[in-house]
Amino acid sequence: MHDFQYHGDELWCEELAIRAIAEKVGTPFYLYSHNTLKRHFRVFDDAFAGQSHIVCFAAKANSNIAVLRIFIREGGGVDIVSGGELYRALLAGADPGKIVYSGVGKRIDEIDYALTSGILLFNVESPAELETIQLRAKTLGKKASIALRINPDVDPQTHPHISTGLKENKFGIDIATAVEAYRAAARLPNLDITGVSCHIGSQVTKVSPFVDALGRLQVLVRRLREEGMDIRYLDLGGGLGITYREETPPLPAEYAGALLAMARDLDCTLILEPGRVIVGNAGILVTKALYTKTTGVKNFVVVDAGMNDLIRPSLYDSYHRIQSIVRRDGGEIEADIVGPICESGDYLARKRKMPAFQSGDLIAVMSAGAYGFTMSSNYNSRPRVAEVLVEGDRFHVIRERETYADLVRGERIPPFLLSE
């Protein structure tokens, strides 16, 4: 459920007409509902009530510091994959003791930043990374709390680009060699082995892959404890999907019920890393029709948002529902919604039945709260768009629209190119 609903023929966000926001902010822009974000987090968190757990929101899905702040105020932590995300999390007020650091390519400066910040856990993805964290912890006089990210070789049945739990993927340590990897970690004096971690993929719409992965982790946790390792945390990652079109993913309660039935007897604090399931349907991209055209074989609606603003359709062939901000009687057409970028792959919807949009019409690209702005770019030297948060009958610009000056900030023409 979300708070983007029609009042008569106008689409509203909570208690505000989106058209009125667009008139003041301009287009395109991302629009988030504070009420939906907060409710989604609470529903997910409540699903694990009665079990020691930490909900660490996956910053990669939406890293705006105002969005992070909402979840931090609800008692949540943050799952990070870079030094930049750590900076954002701390700036938003996150407790370092609720921050977990995943990712296959942690740089030395990023490891140092995390060690000196006192984060809860490094999810380590390779033996080489183990050695590097040991070296940096020793140099800094620290002890690093670590879990090994285990690759359980489970098919999440999702898009190949966001599958992360198969042997062929770059992520984690093969479960077949996990015990030996933990033994190696135990020999490193500046590492504190506290957990086991796993993340099998994103936009997973069935419970069974999560259950399969947890079943394999159960065996590993028990084996490690038999060898004297104090496994206190079980990081089950994220990946729970949402409805974009006709998917029927499990609700958080069903997801949690299946996992808790297996995890309770392990006596671990669970770490959950939801992202898309919290923010995906809590945000939309608002864009405006610039032109309409036909080639004789196809209709196009050219809008002011492009693949640089929302790359998911171009990258994953993802589906986002298209809705009018203001509905009117104009009939229906089959068309592509395309942007200004100089590539044929620049589209937000293809071969879709939609209202017969006209120049100036406002359009909502739904379910754009996750992996929208965070994956945007300045391709074609286009300034990145504004982000807006609605709270009841008020809106707040939580990221200003970039200017042309922002595009060249930090660039320099060297002196030899300035001479005649």
pLDDT at residue 206, as a whole number: 86
CA distance 403 to 415: 26
pLDDT per position as a tens digit, 3-31: 999 999 999 999 999 999 999 999 999 99
Structural domains of the chain ordered from first start? 4-31+280-407 (2.40.37.10), 34-278 (3.20.20.10)
CA distance 192 to 205: 35
Instruction: Report the helix count and the strand count for the chain, using DSSP H and E.
Output: 13, 21
pLDDT per position as a tens digit, 184-195: 999 999 999 999
Residue 88 β-bridge partners: none
Widest pairwise Cα distance in the chain: 76
Would you call 302 helix, strand, or coil by DSSP?
strand
pLDDT at residue 290, as a whole number: 98
CB 11 within 8 A of CB 325: yes
pLDDT per position as a tens digit, 227-243: 999 999 999 998 889 99
pLDDT per position as a tens digit, 243-289: 999 889 999 999 999 999 999 889 999 999 999 999 999 999 999 99
First to last CA, the chain: 63
Radius of gyration of the chain (CA): 23
Confidence band for 301, pLDDT divided at 50, 70 and 90: very high
pLDDT at residue 165, as a whole number: 41
pLDDT at residue 390, as a whole number: 98
Residues carrying an active site annotation: 342
Q: Is the pLDDT of residue 166 over 70?
A: no
E strand intervals along 242-393 = 269-272, 283-294, 299-303, 322-324, 332-338, 347-355, 362-365, 386-391
Residue 313 β-bridge partners: none
CA distance 257 to 261: 6
pLDDT at residue 171, as a whole number: 63
In 118-170, alpha helices (H): 127-140
CB-based contacts of 126: which residues, under 8 Å, 6+ apart?
104, 173
Q: Is the pLDDT of residue 106 over 60?
A: yes
C-beta atoms surrounding 402 within 10 Å: 15
C-beta atoms surrounding 197 within 10 Å: 26
Task: Give the mean pLDDT of the chain.
Answer: 94
pLDDT at residue 230, as a whole number: 95
pLDDT per position as a tens digit, 376-394: 999 999 999 999 999 999 9
Percent of the chain clearing pLDDT 90 (strictly above): 85
Q: Is the pLDDT of residue 164 over 70?
A: no
pLDDT per position as a tens digit, 121-163: 999 999 999 999 999 999 999 999 999 999 887 755 544 544 4
Q: Which two tokens stand for residue 98?
A: 């609720």
pTM for the full model? 0.94
pLDDT at residue 158, as a whole number: 46
pLDDT at residue 169, as a whole number: 60
Residue 37 β-bridge partners: none
pLDDT at residue 168, as a whole number: 55
Strand order of the β-sheet with 10-13 is 4-7, 10-13, 16-17
